[in-house]
Structures are given as structure tokens and as C-alpha cells.
Structure 1
Amino acid sequence: MDLLEIKYENLKEYLRSLKSVAAAFSGGVDSTFLLKVAHDVLGDKAIAVTARSLSFPKRELDEATTFAFENSIQHMIVDSEELDIDGFSTNPTNRCYLCKTELFTKIKAIAQTKGIENVIEGSNSDDNGDYRPGLTAVAELGIKSPLREAGLTKAEIRQLSKRLGLPTWNKQSFACLSSRFPYGESITPDRLRMIDQAEQYLLDLGFHQVRVRFHGNLARIETDENGFNAMMDRQTRDKIYTRFKEIGFTYIAVDIRGYRTGSMNETLKK
């Protein structure tokens, strides 16, 4: 048995030991894999809970709903509007902590009413290296992180997802739209809609991995190598410029370092 198979078996055994779980389910690569394995192991003792808010694009909510329905998994949607959290809209460095505390408190309440013993979430072992204040909330509230417990990386989760036939195995990485703003830059409903529309347009053009970072009247696009190649086409750039201007941006720039997670954390003092 190779190392990946050992990790996979350890994950299933760990989930089995939890007896019943409510999974925080975004429909992304990690949470979809985690929910699938949890449901395989625990059956109806594994349910999914998805948060609905302005930071969560409708396409992601629709995909999460479809996956749960097609796999006969009980799925609950809870309204969790981050902008209503005191202090969140000012975008402090602990923004993710505030959000996760509110979200997981709501999921724990749902789990309790359903007689579910544990709440689980989909962070993986790669998340241990970056600034992740949300993981502090996870620890404080006693939320379980099975993928980290099993030592699974994002690449390994994609590999296992492909083996299981999950449609998310090669899905682009996603984080809530609030992560597109520099710390201290106010987050508003209109600004979230601008980011959502801009990223959706790039996805509609065929871009796979993208982020549109908000810097006032400037949109900074992060994309992968294929995205850079697409940007070499003048007509494509013109389309993007025209659409982004319609959305409300004055200047549109492409980050030469490309897509990377946690780029807004680069301003934090080490």
C-alpha cells in the first residue's frame, strides 16, 4: 500500500470514529472530496451545510446544491452574511477569524438540532504554512479538520478526487470574494459584486484559475500560465478592458507573478 492509499484509509478511519458529521460545504475541491468520503463512510450520518452570502458567488452555491442532490446527501443552506458581522467590513487582518467564528457557530447549532456529534471542515495540510486566522476559530470552536489530520495535500486530494470520479478534481481553487481586498480596504456589497462580475467574465472567456484583486479603481488580475498565454491575444485584452470598464474599474492590470494563494498576506509584517 503506497503512502497516498495509507492517508486515504486513515481519513476514512478518522471519519468513522466521529460517528456523525455536519460538513461545512463550499463545493470546492477540498470540501467536496471530504463530504464525499464522509458520506461514503457514514451514510446519512453525514450532512452538508453551505453558507449563502455576497462573498459566495451564485455559481458556487448552485454547484454545491447540485452535487449534494445528485449524491443524495442532506444539504442545508444557512444565511451567513459576513458584512453584518461587527468590524468585518473594515477588513481587518483577522477578517477570516470573524467570519469563521460566525459561520461555524451557526453550523454547530444546526448540528446540535440534528443530533450530529461533530462539525468538520476542509482545510488541508498545505494550509498550515500560510497566515490562516480562520484556523484559530476552527480550533477554538472544536471543529474537526479530517484532511489535515490525514496529512493530505491539495495535490493528493485532487488525485484521490479524480480516482473517485468527482467533477471537482480539476476545479480551480477558490476563496471567498472578501479575500480579494487589501487589509484595511473597505468591503461593500457593490465592491463584492464588481469582483464577482469581473471574475465570472474571465471564467466565461475560458480562463481557468483567476483572481481579480480590488485596489480602488484598479483591478489586478492574477492568472495561471494558460491565462497569461490567453492575455497575449489583443482582442482578448480589449474585451477584458471593455467589460471591466463597464463593471466600474478605471485601470486593469495583470500581475506578472501570476496566480497565488494568499497574495494579500504579502503586505503583512513577518
Structure 2
Amino acid sequence: MTLEVLRKKVLKVDRLCVQLAQYDGLAIAFSGGVDSVFLAYVASNILGEKAVALTVETPYMAKWEIQESEELATFIGISYTRIQLPLHPSLMNNPSDRCYLCKKILFNQLMASAKNMGIKNLADGSNADDTKDYRPGMRALTELGVKSPLLESGITKTEIREWSKALGLKTWNKPAYACLLTRLPYDMPVELNALEMIEKGEKFFHNLGYKAVRVRKHGDLARIEIDPDRITDLIQNDSIGRIVENFKAFGFKHVTLDLQGYVMGSFNSDLMKGAPNESNGN
């Protein structure tokens, strides 16, 4: 299905296209996730060369995800720029407000890069479902004046997946992903080798066919979270020994499987005692 056909069938999509057409130029914060890919695809079709995709590369973002974002931008046919940033001093100890601080740092840089390209407007892929939880990162975007066309058009995550599939976008069923800082306890020094260990561990599981996986690092212990429905499969197959062997090669001394399975933001339990809807990442 083409965007034009989908636009005629779905009012929200038409509303989004009309909104995007009002911009003289638009830079899109492009993570390669389902939301930003859908937004970039629509914007590219509506604005042509006046739409650009910008990706920030930091030490706490998985290398495979950065590479995939570039491949997806090429697939869409949108102009793509990668911006490299070091670990900012304010994030060195993984503070509890890291999502707010990180968004402020990254989007300030994205806005500066867009301005250098002669583009005044910067957009992100926030959708209507993102208003249901407390998300400190969204507060930073509001303060900076970042546009959120999907949210403003009332488009939900389920709709984005459905329409992405109809348009032939590879990301329609891509699992949610979050930066590697969410795999570490709060208020502890962030070590670059720890981020590399976590990335290697999660990539190992991806290669085994487990897409929804988190490797939480507690000192020299790896706590592995996978989809609860797949825990039995993992235990019953012959991968356990290979998992332990590889994780020890990555630098972990102890390897555990969390029997509760993957839980979004499992390091947030202490923070959430006074704010049950708070979400600081995955």
C-alpha cells in the first residue's frame, strides 16, 4: 500500500500529512525505532529533500542499533546524518533523572545541527500512548520546543505498527529498545566497558532469536530478562552452557536468569514507590 492510498483511507494519517506539509523543513530525531521510522517515512514523502533524519551516537547506545538506523534511513530514502557525542559529565553516575538530562543534552545538539542545516523545526516520534505514563524525557522536549507530530495527530503505537506493516516498513513489529544506561543501577559510576559487556550479551541473545531481552548488570553479575513466554524454551534447549560460556567471555563472573521475565524499567522499583506511573526507560 502507498502512503497516498493509506491517506485516503485513514483520517489520522491525512491529518498528519497536512500537518507535516506546513513545515518549510523538518529534522527528525531518528532512532530507527518503529515510531521515528514511520514519521520519517511520511515526512520524506510529504516534504521530499526538506525532511532529514538525525541520529545521535553515544557510548550508551548499542552499535547495532546505530547501524540499523542508517540502513533504515537508506531504505526510506531520507537524508541521514549521524552525530557523535561522548558520555556527558552529568550522566557519569547514572542519576535517577538521567532521561530528562539525556533528552536535554541530545536534543539541544540535534537542534543545533538542524539549525546549521538551515532547518528550524525538530520533531521526535512521541505518540499518543506516551501521554499515559509520566515520562521525564518528554518534559525536556516540551521545554525545548520539539515537535511531536504523531502525538499531536492522536496516533497510537498500535496504529503506527498497523500502518507501518501496510506501508511495507521493516520496523512494524520491531520490539521497543532503550539506551544501555537503563541496564545499570541508578547512582553508580558508568563504566564504558560495562556498557560493552551488556551490548555483547544482548546481541548474543538476539542472535539466538530472543528479540525482547534485557541484560541488567549488578556488579559482576548478569541478570537476564527475556519474554516470560520463552523462559521454558530457553531452559529446555541446550543453550544454557553456551550462554554461560559466552557471558563469562564478555566479562561477567555470574550469570542468572530472572524468572519473572522481561519487565520494563525493572531498575525503577525504588523510584516508583511514590510515583506508580513513573517510567524512566526500559
Scaled by the length of structure 1, the TM-score of the pair is 0.92
Q: Compute the displacement of 1:235 (Å).
A: 1.6
**Which residue number in structure 1 is paired with residue 151 of structure 2?**
148
**Which residue number in structure 2 is paired with residue 87 of structure 1?**
90
1:75 maps to 2:70? no
CA contact (8 A) 1:20 1:116 kept: yes
Distance in 2 (CA, whole Å) between partners of 1:260 and 1:8 is 32
Q: Compute the displacement of 1:219 (Å).
A: 1.4
CA contact (8 A) 1:230 1:236 kept: no
1:203 maps to 2:206? yes
Q: Compute the displacement of 1:142 (Å).
A: 0.4
1:105 maps to 2:111? no
1:45 maps to 2:59? no
Distance in 2 (CA, whole Å) between partners of 1:132 and 1:237 is 36
- Equivalent pairs, count: 267
- One-letter code of the match for 1:42? L
Change over 3 Å in CA distance of 1:240–1:76 after alignment to 2: same
- One-letter code of the match for 1:25? F
Distance in 1 (CA, whole Å) between partners of 2:268 and 2:10 is 34
Q: Compute the displacement of 1:258 (Å).
A: 2.0
1:236 maps to 2:248? no
Query: Bigger CA drift: 110-119 or 250-259?
Result: 250-259
Identify unmatched segments of 5+ residues in structure 1.
none
- One-letter code of the match for 2:25? S
**Which residue number in structure 1 is paired with residue 31 of structure 2?**
26
**Which residue number in structure 2 is paired with residue 137 of structure 1?**
140
- One-letter code of the match for 2:28? A
1:54 maps to 2:68? no
Distance in 2 (CA, whole Å) between partners of 1:123 and 1:152 is 9
Q: Compute the displacement of 1:175 (Å).
A: 0.8
Distance in 1 (CA, whole Å) between partners of 2:197 and 2:29 is 26
Q: What does 1:225-264 align with in structure 2 at a 5 Å threshold?
A: 225-264=228-267
> Which residue of 169, 184, 187 maps to 2:187?
184
Q: Compute the displacement of 1:125 (Å).
A: 2.4
Change over 3 Å in CA distance of 1:93–1:249 after alignment to 2: same
**Which residue number in structure 2 is paired with residue 157 of structure 1?**
160
CA contact (8 A) 2:228 2:259 kept: no
SS in structure 1 of the partner of residue 172 of structure 2: coil
CA contact (8 A) 2:164 2:171 kept: yes
Distance in 1 (CA, whole Å) between partners of 2:109 and 2:194 is 26
Change over 3 Å in CA distance of 1:131–1:254 after alignment to 2: farther
Q: Compute the displacement of 1:117 (Å).
A: 2.3
RMSD of aligned residue pairs (Cα, Å): 2.0
**Which residue number in structure 1 is paired with residue 3 of structure 2?**
none
1:122 maps to 2:128? no
Q: Compute the displacement of 1:168 (Å).
A: 0.7
SS in structure 2 of the partner of residue 9 of structure 1: helix
Q: Compute the displacement of 1:164 (Å).
A: 0.8
- One-letter code of the match for 1:104? F
Change over 3 Å in CA distance of 1:208–1:111 after alignment to 2: same
After superposition, give the CA deviation of every residue in 1:227-260 in whole Å (9 maximum; x if it has no partner).
Answer: 3243122521221111112212222222233223
1:64 maps to 2:58? no
4+ runs deviating over 4 angstroms: none
After superposition, give the CA deviation of every residue in 1:37-73 in whole Å (9 maximum; x if it has no partner).
Answer: 1111111111000111211222112211112223331
How high is the sequence identity, in percent, across the aligned residues?
A: 43
- One-letter code of the match for 1:69? T
Q: Compute the displacement of 1:167 (Å).
A: 0.6
Distance in 1 (CA, whole Å) between partners of 2:192 and 2:154 is 37
Scaled by the length of structure 2, the TM-score of the pair is 0.88
